[in-house]
Chain A
């Protein structure tokens, strides 16, 4: 991309609404635990747009994985979609039941990369075999063709010495390399939608950055849509076009990356941003979210975040807030957006987020080649 193009891209707002590939409406998911029903995903609606990356961000237990498991029918046996619809290519995935229903979708049109690459790799089979097997199954290639294609894929995900390492076993690869192999396998299926469930959390930052860059680069080539799940809001500025912030089984804020980073509206999003060490400075303690996430074992009344929310109002403890539309691309579920609510000031670090980050980047810019302007 030329500098000029990049500039244009940066300045063009999301003009018309791009094509929707997945449309989730009023989705609820429940589990049966020791004979008791618990409601884990509580009436969520959102859209996934074609060719974009949607990041789903939230604390452990907020429902990120469960939400996306409903897209491929991977909920555990004790779980089920209790209401709502998931529209994909004219089909309602929420109505799918049997493995036969899911076969043409799961792994083929919608593929998932999990946090631990070893959940997707068989430790007893060579890397090469595992990739070529997928190619033979999905695309009916011959053994020789499959091997050639598999080596091409290994090179695509930058496995050095791909030919020689084709016959290695997973334990002979480092953590980062294994995750790349999982990406290669997902690639082999040519999915339309790639769900990355915390693919980088277990890796160190350099490898993490490389994998994120790789996913982005391949996305440009194959035009797939990515759903990127993480608990670290700090890593998604680079990957995401849009962000859905989840709390207590609900989406509490949804918008473009710019909306969420430069104009966050939900106090939970504020708290997540403010606790990032990148924003901390040496002479003040980092802010953090006090208390624990809600438990699903009893019914949640009002705003699930209220007990931990420094900006909570009386109404938050009794009545669940509706989703307020802030702009055509941006919405948040907090009573603070009600016209009757008192005006509050966002935490200072967030008000000056871009200034702080620009300054930090300026410092780093003295470092050759890290940023080109």
Chain B
């Protein structure tokens, strides 16, 4: 439980956010780049295990457009969370650069920039239980960000903001004095969303926010995220392994396999004209709630060693095969994908 004393220390530390907004400035200085909010250039992320370095992500290039929901899908262990955590600076980037509103946010950056970034970028975590401090009550958890950056006029204003947010996510204001363990998984995930959204972030990373939830409450949490996104024109990176969920919420989808983006396209286009064999295998696995359709289904397995014969002199690259549609391929594969697209017909 958080006692009075601890709260006081917290009060002392709070300082208002700087007057000059670096990120607003970054946007103004590069109007030509303003439709891209996040850029990852040649990013490398590695973990040290003893003396051995394991490279999880290498040469990653990814643009996230302002106001879009970008779905990031791929199998367990492919590096989705690693990327999300690098964006909010939990994971160190050991090569390349990440920018937010054209301001560098990877590697060594000024304290001021880092602080300001925390008010603009928020993450909703995979496990609704683990991410909430069980010793703090809901009021404390939801207003933590507000307090740290003094984003309220007075106590009355703060309480009002918290209560409004509780209402928005469908939790009763009287729950404010309760503790996380008194809530169900779905309710805890909504507390996590409230804590994130109260900061009015520009950019949200939602890391499998519904995978741990019962199907019946998944829809509720999904709706909530979508409502916030549309109302505030927020940018969202939505991480998941289930394509049917991602299609429903995303504008574009990026498919990742073993640390590499293998295909990116508009959500509908990816379903309509998947090119990379891994994307096809993911699509073939989407279960349909329809016995007649399911009986005809065939699952495609992806076997990279049999399918790709990459050599150093013709290494695979992410290539734009039609406007907005990128696939990772080498030269012969590019030819094959181009033919495939012709056969499928252009974008509808």
Contact = CB atoms under 8 A, between A and B. Distances in A.
Interface of A: 6, 10, 59-60, 174-175, 203-210, 213, 231-235, 237-238, 257-258, 261, 271-273, 275-280, 282, 285-289, 292, 353-354, 357-358, 360-361, 363-364, 366-373
Given A237-B288, A277-B242, A278-B289, 11 more contacts: A175-B76, A205-B282, A209-B285, A233-B215, A277-B244, A278-B244, A286-B222, A288-B219, A354-B290, A366-B273, A373-B296
Interface stretch (B3-11, B43-51, B98-106, B297-305): B297-305
Given A210-B301, A277-B248, A285-B226, A205 B290 contact: no
Interface residues of B, number: 50
Contacts of B231: none
Given A59-B214, A272-B216, A288-B217, A207 B289 contact: no
B219 A238 contact: no
A371 B216 contact: no
Contacts of B298: 369-372
Contacts of A204: 75-76, 241-242
Given A175-B76, A278-B287, A370-B280, A272 B222 contact: no
Contacts of A60: 214
Interface string B197-241: 000000000000000001111111011001100000000000001
Nearest to A6: B295
B331 interface: no
B77 interface: yes
Nearest to B75: A204
B88 to A, nearest CB: 23
Contacts of B288: 234, 237-238, 278, 357, 360-361
Contacts of A234: 215, 244, 287-289
Contact of B285 (A208, A257, A258, A275): A208
B325 to A, nearest CB: 15
B216 A237 contact: no
Contacts of A366: 272-273, 344
Contacts of A207: 75-76
B30 interface: no
A277 B280 contact: no
Interface string B109-126: 000000000000000000
Nearest to A286: B219
Contact of A231 (B215, B271, B301): B215
